Amino acid sequence: MARFDHDDRLGEIEARLERQDPEFARALAGGRPRRPREYRRGRAWAVLAFALVCLGTGIAIGHGLLIATGLVVAGMAGHLFDPPERRPHRPRPSQ
């Protein structure tokens, strides 16, 4: 009896994964999945490195606008490290 419960739960997890990220589900079924997009953070690291260069250079030469740019870009990099959660698309009710 418990075996069927586990099979049903696994089926539900599989269906949810297929709905949320069909490309990852197909790759997983093929045996060679790529990391999901939200876990690939190369762009965020590059933006953070640029921010630190701007900030460090601005501090070294005493240029306020460059310091401010570094801080703003660091905030943007922080946003890239924390991607939004996927929400299912729901059609708007027509009026």
Token readout for 38 is 């939200």
Which pLDDT does position 76 carry in this prediction?
93
pTM over 0.75: no
How confident is the prediction along the chain (95 residues), in pLDDT tens digits per residue? Answer: 456 677 888 888 888 888 887 887 887 777 777 666 666 788 889 999 999 999 999 999 999 999 999 999 999 999 888 866 655 566 666 65
Question: Where exactly are the structural domains of the chain?
Answer: 1-34, 39-86
* Cα atoms in the Cβ-side hemisphere of radius 13 Å centred on 71: 8
Residue-level length of the chain: 95
CA 55/CA 29 separation, integer angstroms: 45
